[in-house]
Amino acid sequence: MKEYDHLSIEKKWQKEWEKKKVYKTLNTSKKKKYYVLDMFPYPSGVGLHVGHPKGYIGSDVFARFKRMQGFNVLHPMGYDAFGLPAEQYALEHHIHPRKAVLENVKAFEAQLNKIGFSYDWERRVNTTDPEFYRWTQWIFLKIYNSWYNQKTNKAEPIEKLIKIFEKSGNVGVNAAGTFTSEFVAKEWNEKIEKEKQDILMNYRLAYEGYSEVNWSPVLGTVLANDEVVDGPTGPVSERGGYPVVKKEMRQWFLRITAYADRLAKGLDTLNWSDHIKEIQKNWIGKSVGAEIDFKIKDGQNIRIFTTRPDTIFGVTYLVLAPEHPALLNLKSKIRNWDAVSSYINKTKLITPEERMDSKEKTGVILRGIVAINPANGEEIPVWIADYVLVNYGTGAIMAVPAHDERDLEFAQKYILPFNEVIIEVFGDILKEPIRRDVVKAIIVRNNKVLLVKENNEQYSLPGGSYELGESDLSALSREIREETEYKNFKIKDYLGSVERFYRKDMKNNTGENRVRRIAGYLVEITNEEKEKIQHDGWITETKWFDMKEAIEVLKKTDYNAEALFIKKILENNHCFVSEGILVNSGKFNGFSSEEAKIKITKEVGGKIVTKYKIRDAIFARQRYWGEPIPLVHTKDGIIKPLGDKSLPLKLPDVKSYEPTGTGDSPLAGVKEWMKKGLETNTMPGWAGSSWYYLAYMTQGISNFQFPIFKNNTKAKRTKEAIQYWKNVDMYVGGQEHATGHLLYSRFWHKVLKDYNLVPTEEPFQTLRNQGMILGEDNRKMGKRWGNGVNPDDVVKYYGADTLRVYEMFMGPFESSLPWSTDNIIGSRRFLDKVWRLQEKVVTKKMSRTVLDISTNTKLEALLHKTIKKVGDDINNFAFNTAVSSMMILANEMEKQEEIKQAHFEMFLKVLNPFAPHMTEEIWKFLGNKTLLVNEKWPKADPKKMLELEVKIVIQVNGKVRADCMIILNTLENDVIEMVKTLPDVEKWLLGKEIKKVIYIPNRLVNLVIF
């Protein structure tokens, strides 16, 4: 047997596969399609470390497995080379980014190819290739020339909207956007072109706007929120750690908010990890609430947004964001305008970060302004405060200190009234409550709470029912005096009310259903008071408890109301923010929050609306290295899109591509460019990655063609290709893209779907996230800590197959785990072992000894079980256990004198996706003329998995006491009788009576004795 020389074997087979084009994928096949995709990398130039290929190895194992299972597998790779990282690299090394990208791609690909991936390289894409970005630009124009019709719930051509305007104005139009004023057809038709275009800009899915953005003076560019991280002295850029400040700038935006609902709903149909879905869901931030108008006395309405219209009777003031537009109209009426305007200016000066960091709430009352609560006609003050954000909801809120922590904090600071309107309920909610109100005193001394033990073994606290016409306080004082002998007590605080439901005793049919409202008060007594409690002699014992302890005791005795009150004292927070039952709410008293929300909104003339946290995406960079935005600014100030025939709008060659530092893109310095009036912003890094998975579907980007011209064969073929591949079936990549790429590409895909350019609603059906490989020091691997491990070195020393097996064996695919140079040897030893097994392989004719039938069937059973397990595990991305089961099989095979060739070949097939080179070599050595990569996945035969004998465990009282072998499927009674006679079991049964026997067939017997 020759030596396992991984270097020559791997080189040989990589050449052979390339020569025979075994990974070339055709778009026509009788086989079922399967699309396995990796998130494509940006070729950074510093080279790969062993962490980078982990995801690629996982998807490659999966793709090879699917291929062997008989699928037509699309498994491509390409490069995301536009954007900041590529440009930064070029700037640092003083070479043109185009050149840098080409060099880096070459180096990158050389490294990848050593690991033996099964990519169809003919489909390679590069986002910086004009043939590629021509379509990025084309899709952008499609988005630009669209508006979102909320009646049909999809994007539609802007021409259609113009026709509607010409015919009937915008009155009946329900479009996504912020445009509020109305016009009729006549008004529209009389407008000049510039005015029309300005209005349309409010409807387009790609629109120009001005906004405060993250401006990095050093990088000379604007950054997206997810490119900014917290630094020690404020926000800094994620890349480079340069300081970031706020700056108002002209921007392009994509109206992703129009798709918020579809993006949220679509998540339910996806086979993604709950974790990623959760992140996207939070990011979209859907919440259903009501918009309600509060009338300003002698003035206009203020529209507020709230998710809790059921608390409207508890409103004690209104708050507007300092930037709220209504302030201008109110200006003349505001008597303290000086104070108000200085507060507004102050808010403008501080950054949003500072605004969020400052824990103390601030605000100014608007003197002279009075609002009217539409629910009860009450007059309430209006404030401005920076804890209300202008760009969420309506920029104004109704404040309910009793049921919102932020409002409470504000109300406490400025001494504003507190009005409780919701109380908590235990048990069921009765439609028509029958109340028996009680009041409870939580008596404390030195932070200890007094618990009173009644005869019926329950703990209680002093308290009782009201007498006719009594207020809370007088009833409480009376009850305390009656039940205790305390004279020196102080009612310190109101703890809120709760409602408790008591069902009548159905069994004995006694009592009645009733609801009790329990009001809680904190009562403090002085140390001098003696512990005297007396009440008709039914109290047997009193005790002072530590507060936490008291809660536990009360919970056990079902006195939840008291426990809740004590918890409130401990947390020093009397704000009940959950839903409950309405009180102090006029005719809505007794309603549940859920019911009241709808009824009250209707009553006050409000509207149920849905709001989202997600913001429109900024789609512009003031940089050179990005796709040019194909728009022209005319002299009249109108923006016009380029025609399809003018695409691609190529990035011009410039001498200096460094940022100008003024905020303008380097394109603003190109004469030719400016003469044509072309847009100077370029697209952000995520543009190309939002549709690249479609580009792979045709064989080479030069064959890609969206249907621009009718009857174009290229366009027809592209359409067929997209219809065939549909969407990505398995997508593998890092979870850091949860709120970026993965959201944006879903958005673009949905726009394309609205134009029937793609057949599915979602681009990525299943998503798997690989964990990182950390350095041996448990820190992030890379240049920063100098702990990077180069895959080239590992491939050279141990081989690509060992690298592949080890990275899959390390642990669960999704976990981040440290690299270990100690542990990798185990994977190499495993492959060495498999290599040596060749020697034991015999064909039928060659058999030197008579194979022991029983050990042979045993091995066969293990083999078939392993085939099944490896297949199942790969499907579940549980590669680590797949490898481990193959190790068990190899260990077992090693113990055999001889291995049947057919058995060993089946083993090679299941190992092939993990170690393609070595298995291919052995396959050939065994005399096969075909290539192993083209072989079919072996079938696991369930009949052959069964073993004649199985081990069962015998437990006595649930503890394992013995085990023994039985013939498969022995009858229950026979097993139990036999098991009782085992010496290890018998001694435990001696003199005891068996109460119960639990029998799990072929697994376990549990004898229960006493």
Partner RNA sequence: GCCCGAGUGGUGGAAUUGGUAUACACGCAAGACUUAAAAUUUUGUGACCGUAAGGUCAUGUGGGUUCGAUUCCCACCUCGGGCACCA
By CB atoms closer than 10 A (0-12, 13-18, 19+), residue 468 is: exposed
Residue 533 touching RNA (CB under 7 A): no
Residue 239 touching RNA (CB under 7 A): no
For RNA, the closer of residues 112 and 600 by Cβ is: 600
Among 159, 526, 998, 1001, binds RNA (CB under 7 A): 998
Residue 412 touching RNA (CB under 7 A): no
Spatial distance between the Cα atoms of 28 and 698, rounded to a whole number of angstroms: 11
Q: How far is CA 285 from the centre of its chain?
A: 11
Enumerate the H helices of 145-288 as residue ranges: 158-168, 185-190, 193-201, 260-266, 274-284
CB of 791 to RNA, least distance (A): 18
**283 residue type, one letter:** W
What's the CA dihedral at 543, 546, 547, 553 to 10 degrees? -60
Q: What is the DSSP letter of 239?
A: T
For RNA, the closer of residues 103 and 238 by Cβ is: 238
The secondary structure of 369-385 as a DSSP string is EEEE-TTT--EEEEEEE
Spatial distance between the Cα atoms of 518 and 462, rounded to a whole number of angstroms: 12
Spatial distance between the Cα atoms of 575 and 409, rounded to a whole number of angstroms: 10
Spatial distance between the Cα atoms of 169 and 184, rounded to a whole number of angstroms: 4
CB of 404 to RNA, least distance (A): 5
Residue 772 touching RNA (CB under 7 A): no
For RNA, the closer of residues 522 and 893 by Cβ is: 893
What residues numbered 291-350 form the site for RNA, per CB under 7 A? 305-308, 321
Contacts for 983 with CB less than 8 Å, ≥ 6 apart: none
CB of 391 to RNA, least distance (A): 8
CB of 290 to RNA, least distance (A): 8
The secondary structure of 882-901 as a DSSP string is HHHHHHHHHHHHHTSS-EEH
Instruction: Count how many Cα atoms sit within 13 Å of the Cα of residue 466 in the half-sphere of its side chain.
Output: 16
Spatial distance between the Cα atoms of 188 and 195, rounded to a whole number of angstroms: 9
CB atoms within 10 A of CB 320: 25
Give the residue among 28, 39, 36 at the shortest CA–CA distance from 69. 36
Per-residue binding letters, 451-470, with RNA (x by CB under 7 A): --------------------
CB of 549 to RNA, least distance (A): 12
By three-state DSSP, how is residue 240 classified? coil
What residues numbered 354-373 form the site for RNA, per CB under 7 A? 355-356, 358, 361
Among 389, 539, 598, 945, binds RNA (CB under 7 A): 389
Residue 831 touching RNA (CB under 7 A): no
Per-residue binding letters, 262-301, with RNA (x by CB under 7 A): ------------xx--xx--xx-x-x-x------------
By three-state DSSP, how is residue 607 classified? strand
- Which range of residues in 153-161, 468-476, 591-599, 816-824 is near RNA by CB under 7 A? 816-824
For RNA, the closer of residues 390 and 715 by Cβ is: 390
What residues numbered 557-576 form the site for RNA, per CB under 7 A? none
Q: What are phi and psi of 1003, to 5 degrees?
A: -135, -55
For RNA, the closer of residues 642 and 890 by Cβ is: 890
Q: Please, what is the end-to-end C-alpha distance for the chain in angstroms? A: 63
Give the residue among 870, 767, 742 at the shortest CA–CA distance from 37. 767
For RNA, the closer of residues 464 and 818 by Cβ is: 818
CB of 649 to RNA, least distance (A): 33
For RNA, the closer of residues 796 and 951 by Cβ is: 951
Give the residue among 90, 10, 86, 14 at the shortest CA–CA distance from 43. 86
For RNA, the closer of residues 374 and 462 by Cβ is: 374
- Which range of residues in 111-119, 558-566, 908-916, 955-963 is near RNA by CB under 7 A? 955-963
Among 953, 964, 976, 982, binds RNA (CB under 7 A): 953
For RNA, the closer of residues 23 and 877 by Cβ is: 877
What residues numbered 725-754 form the site for RNA, per CB under 7 A? 739
Cβ contact 475:466 at 8 Å: yes
For RNA, the closer of residues 745 and 955 by Cβ is: 955
Place of tokens 């194992």: 61
Residue 780 touching RNA (CB under 7 A): no
- Which range of residues in 56-64, 351-359, 458-466, 854-862 is near RNA by CB under 7 A? 351-359
Per-residue binding letters, 878-917, with RNA (x by CB under 7 A): x-xx-xx--xx--x--x-----------------------
Among 337, 760, 811, 941, binds RNA (CB under 7 A): 811
Cβ contact 762:773 at 8 Å: no
Residue 395 touching RNA (CB under 7 A): yes
For RNA, the closer of residues 218 and 389 by Cβ is: 389
